[in-house]
Every structure is written in structure tokens, then in C-alpha cells.
Amino acid sequence: MRISSQLLLTFLLNAVWQIALIAALASLGAWILRQSATRYQHWLWVGALCLSLLVPAATAWRSLPTVITTSAEQTLERELANPIVTNHALAPQSPSTGVSSGSFELNRSLAFALLLIYAGLFVFRVFRLAQAWHTTRTVRNAAVELERDETVEAIVRECAKRLNFNADRVRVCRSTREPVPVTIGVFRPVIVLPDSLLLPDSLLQDGNTDLLTSAIGHEFIHVARHDYVLNLVYELLYLPVSFHPAAALLRRRIKQTRELCCDELVAERILNAETYARSLVVLAGSVPPLRRLSVTTTVGIADADILEARIMSLLSKPKMNRRWKKLLLLVVSLLLLVPSFGAAALAMRFEVATAAQEPTQQEKELKEKENVDSKIRRGREAVKENEEFKERMERDPNFRREVQRKQELEMEMRTLRQAALMRLSRISMDQAIQIATSQTPGKVLICSLEADKWEEPGKLAKDGVVFYHVIIGDEANPGDATHVLVNAVDGSIIKTGKELPRKRSPENN
């Protein structure tokens, strides 16, 4: 989850400036290509929309190995409670701790808010696209197969002939729902004509077929260019970047230049420009404003609300050498691609800040870590010493004999001390226990006969004391114990307490 959040943040926050840069470059390129063919401008805007998604996505993809490595390191640091990292986190002079080089750290709340807003906008755009698709299917289902009409059939055959297109691949239907011609269909294209173009008593019927030829010819070009399928592809590309106003500009320019391309082809192959321009004015004027704004995935003659620009484009065709057009297209392509690749290379990476721990909690974890490390270190040293001792015992006979001699001497000294204790004590262990429990009631855990200040093994010093060490458990507080020292000669209590100092060994006296 953390990795996906960082990748999405890297995509979003880099897309903010990258898409704006791409849109600015595309606008400059479109201005350079204003005297060339409209299809060049259309390709330019389509390329810009593709780059607006690919460049931020490439940026996020390039940061993936670093994000994974950083996340793994942070996870390992948290698990091990690395003291170096903890000290850095506590130090005010190192604010960049936990952030890898070349990245920016975002507050968790801010990052969550950005991701939540983006998710909401994305879901809204998906809903709108699904709604448009449903509306389109409703229009398609409501369309009725056009009855045999010699005029329409003749126009269809003529348009197909001029465009070198198979007329049998296209179905022509009529509908009362659509005020203008539209094209629908991925595999089996359908041209839907409004009844206003087909009824004999329609206001749009002016006694000639130019209006109908303009409408059918324009939709035939949409079918020949596969504009319906491409429009769906552009909508899907637009979804991830739909939060950006510059991306909406690219999408709008694609629709506008698509209609300009179709107008250009109609004027070149089907009708002359003046006749088609007049028909375009009539067709566009027949569309009610509210219907023009309806949301569908259809493509049609009234998609782009730039009637004046379309008429001017039809009536004024500037001349430019074909060689110059191709050269300008190459220059504009480089102008768009080179800075876009540079933007992907210079992109920034963003990370979500880890949850800050309280200083007391950090100190506690640090102490626990130090205690664990100390125990592990002592255990390793003990194991190492034990292994060295065993190895030396096996390898060195003299050392083995010396160790055995010391063990025997120690056992002899222990025996002498124990015999001296038994000889010097005047009360029994049971009596010592009774004396101790009368002073401190409870359950006796341990009772041992000991002595303090030996002069030599088996001989007590003049100021030495023989005593019973009785440990009594506290029934009210399990785990606590009281230590009672009872004089083994006269039965008096020497000392009572929760903790008693260690008795000194004879070697230390």
C-alpha cells in the first residue's frame, strides 16, 4: 500500500507540471502548423494527449526500484529499531532523515487528501464515461433501419465511390432522438440520420440533395477514419489525467481538429467547399443548444462547437509547399518529443512521511534494543569462551589436569566450609525457619546455612558470623520476596529486607 501510494503521488505531482508543459508545446506547434494541413494539427494534439499520460507514467515507473528499496530499508529499520536512525529522527538538525536522495517528503495527511481527491475525480470521470456509453447504446437501440430510399441509396453509393469505401460495411438508420447525423459502432458502423433530413415536409429540405450529401459524406469519412473507435481510445487515455485542465484542453482540441479534418476531406472529395459550408451552417443551426451538450460517445458533424472556425477553414485555404509542410511537421514533432523526454528524466519523486513516534517511545525502544544487544553479545562471548575452553581441554593435557586439580581443590574447600558450618551452628534449620516466619509470615522459598568472613577454608574469622539465609515469598504480591538472616548460634535476627547485599566470598575477605 505504501509503495502504490508513493508511485501514485509521483505520477500525480509530476503530471501537474509535465502535462502543462506538453500542452504549451502542443499549442506552440499548432500555431506553427496553422498554414499546413489540418490532419497534421490533429496528429499533434493526439500525440500530446498520449504523452500527457505516458510521460508521468514513465516517471513513476522509473522511480519504482528506488521506492521499493527505500520502503524495504525503512521497514527493516523499524523492525530492528536501528539506534542510528532513531537518533537522526530525534535530532532537529537533520530534517531529511528517512527520505532518500532526490525525493520530497509529503505530510501523511496532505498525501492522503491528494489521493482521496484524485480517486473521487477518477471515479466521477469513469461514471460519466459509463453514462455516455449507456446513452450511446440507447441512441443505437432507438434507431430504425432506413426504409428503401433511392435518393439516400444513391448518395451513399456516390460517397462510398468517392472515398473508395465499401458501402455494404455501413448501415444507415433514422432516429427521432438525434437532431444531427452521428456515427456509432466499433465493428459494424451505423450512421444515424435525424428525421429532419428525411421527412418530405421538413424545414431542412430545400429541394436539393446537398444537405443530405454533406451529412452522409461527413459521417462516411468518420467511418473511414475509424473515428468512433479512436474516440473511445482517447477517452480511456484521458481518464487518468482528467484532473488536469491542460488535459481537458488537449481532449477538446482533438475533437475540434477531428471535425476540421473531416470537413477538409468532404470539401476535397465529395462537395465543393462553398456548398458544404452552407450545408454545415444549416445543419449546425438545427441543433438545440441543450441537445448539443448531451453526453455521448458518438462522433458526428456537430461535435466541435467551432462553427465559425470550420467555415473559415473551408473558405480560406492558404497555399504551402508540400515539402515545407513535412519539414514543419518534423520540426514540431521534435519540439514536442525532446522536451517531453527531458521532463521525464528530470522528474521529482515524492514519498509519504512515516508516522512520527513520541520521543519517550523512541527512547524506550532504544533502551530495549540496547538491552537485547547486550544480552546477545554476552551470550555470544560466553558461547565463544565455552567453545575455546572445550577446545583447549581436548588439545592441552596439562591444562586439563590443571582444571581438574582446581575443581578437586574447590570441592575440598567447599566440603571443609560446610563441615565447619555444621560444627559452629547451634540451632537447626527448622528452628531458623520458625524464627524467620514469626518475624515475617509467608511461604519459605529457600533456606541455606552460610557464613561471612572466613579466615581460611574450614576456619571462621574472629568477627565472622554463621547464619541461616531464609527467603520468604510474599503471598499478597507474587514475585516479591523477603530475605531474613537468622544467627545460627543464638537464633537472633541479623537483618531483614526485600533485597540484601551479596555475601562476600572468602577470596574477597
Rounded Cα distance, 441 and 264, in Å: 110
Q: Write down the pLDDT at residue 491.
A: 86
pLDDT digits (tens, 9 = 90+) for 221-277: 999 899 999 999 999 999 999 999 999 999 999 999 999 999 989 988 888 888 888
Q: Write down the pLDDT at residue 118.
A: 92
Rounded Cα distance, 225 and 258, in Å: 10
Rounded Cα distance, 189 and 174, in Å: 14
| Arithmetic mean of pLDDT, 493-500 | 77
Q: 137: Cβ–Cβ under 8 A, 6 or more apart, which residues?
A: none
pTM of the model: 0.63
Q: Write down the pLDDT at residue 209.
A: 80
Rounded Cα distance, 5 and 239, in Å: 18
The kind and range of the H/E element at 364 are: helix 359-395
The ranges assigned to domains in the chain are 2-350, 359-412, 427-508
For 405-441, the DSSP string reads: HHHHHHHHHHHHHHHHHHHH--S-HHHHHHHHHHHS-
Q: Write down the pLDDT at residue 100.
A: 46
For 216-249, the DSSP string reads: HHHHHHHHHTTHHHHHHHHHHHHGGGTT-HHHHH
Q: Which of the listed CATH numbers 3.40.50.261, 3.10.20.880, 3.10.450.40, 3.90.1010.10 matches domain 427-508?
A: 3.10.450.40
Q: Write down the pLDDT at residue 241.
A: 94
One-letter amino acid identity for 179? P
Q: Write down the pLDDT at residue 93.
A: 39
Q: Write down the pLDDT at residue 81.
A: 45
pLDDT digits (tens, 9 = 90+) for 138-164: 888 888 887 777 888 888 888 888 888
Give me 92's grid cell. 532537529
Q: φ, ψ for residue 449 (rounded to 5)?
A: -95, 125
Strands 171-175 and 144-145: antiparallel
Mean pLDDT of the chain: 80
pLDDT digits (tens, 9 = 90+) for 379-395: 888 888 888 888 888 88
pLDDT digits (tens, 9 = 90+) for 302-341: 777 788 888 888 887 666 667 788 888 899 999 999 998 8
The yes-or-no verdict on residue 283 having pLDDT over 50 is yes
- Which of 84-98, 201-215, 224-238, 480-494 reaches the highest mean pLDDT? 224-238
Q: Which residue has the cell 493526439?
A: 46
Q: Out of 59-68, 111-120, 427-436, 472-481, pick the least confident.
A: 59-68
- Which of 58-72, 89-103, 375-389 reaches the highest mean pLDDT? 375-389
Tell which residue, 176, 172, 181, 180, has the closest CA to residue 149.
Answer: 172
Tell which residue, 343, 352, 250, has the closest CA to residue 17.
Answer: 343
| Arithmetic mean of pLDDT, 194-202 | 68
Give me 175's grid cell. 432516429
Q: Write down the pLDDT at residue 208.
A: 61
Q: Write down the pLDDT at residue 507.
A: 41
Tell which residue, 7, 139, 153, 149, has the closest CA to residue 71.
Answer: 7
Q: Write down the pLDDT at residue 286.
A: 66
| Arithmetic mean of pLDDT, 398-414 | 84
- Strands, E, within 158-246: which ranges? 171-175, 182-184, 190-194
Q: Write down the pLDDT at residue 19.
A: 94
Percent of the chain with pLDDT over 90: 20
Q: Write down the pLDDT at residue 237.
A: 94
Rounded Cα distance, 337 and 348, in Å: 19
